[in-house]
Amino acid sequence: MSLIEDKRAWRAHAAAVHALPHDYEVVYKEIQKYLLKVTAPVWADQFARLQDLLALFEAGAARGEDVLAVTGPDVAAFADGLI
């Protein structure tokens, strides 16, 4: 993808994250910060992982589940499992 396409994709992704219920958005952003710190700096890999996380959270929110029902009570362990 080109830089412009990457920016468009990121903006659409960020808008979808912002559309999540507040508790999902907060947990998503904390996991995102963690993943961006500890994973290899390959944009495509990181973005794919974040897209998968967003899809998981969107599905959980659509079912009306609490975010901790999706991640489990140990969010740090959940985040480690994504790596």
Average pLDDT per consecutive 10 residues, the chain (83 residues; last block may be shorter) = 86 97 97 88 84 97 97 95 88
Torsion (CA) 48, 80, 72, 15 in degrees, nearest 10: -30
CB 28 within 8 A of CB 54: yes
Of 25, 26, 43, 28, whose CA–CA distance to 82 is shortest? 28
3-state secondary structure 59-75: HHHHCCCCHHHHHCCCH
pTM for this predicted structure? 0.90
